[in-house]
């Protein structure tokens, strides 16, 4: 793992989402407030992930960004009644 964060403070989830590039050449994750560049999958993992992505998600899902007190909308779980804050602040 390569840590790419050069900030002296930890990054919140909202800051990470705001920072995340629209068309990244790399995959990034937020780990305990630190932005981490993740390696690209290789070998069998990459093949399986590519196959499943094509088979399962082709045209079925639309990516939406929800933040803060936005209500999460799900076509799969229409009865879901949670906000982003409720999910990330659950203990």
pTM given for the model: 0.45
Residue 63 confidence class, pLDDT cut points 50, 70, 90: low
Task: Report the Cα–Cα distance between both ends of the chain, in Å, rounded.
Answer: 28
Residue 78 confidence class, pLDDT cut points 50, 70, 90: confident
Q: Which residues contact 34 (CB under 8 A, 6 or more apart)?
A: 3, 5, 10, 11
């Amino acid at each position: 793992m390569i840590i790419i964060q050069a900030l002296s403070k930890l990054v919140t989830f909202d800051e990470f989402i705001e920072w995340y590039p629209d068309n990244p050449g790399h995959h990034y994750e937020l780990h305990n407030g630190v932005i981490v560049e993740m390696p690209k999958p290789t070998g069998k993992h990459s093949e399986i992930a590519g196959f499943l992505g094509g088979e399962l998600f082709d045209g079925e899902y639309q990516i939406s960004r929800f933040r803060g007190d936005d209500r999460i909308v799900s076509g799969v779980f229409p009865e879901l009644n949670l906000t982003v804050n409720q999910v990330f602040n659950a203990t």
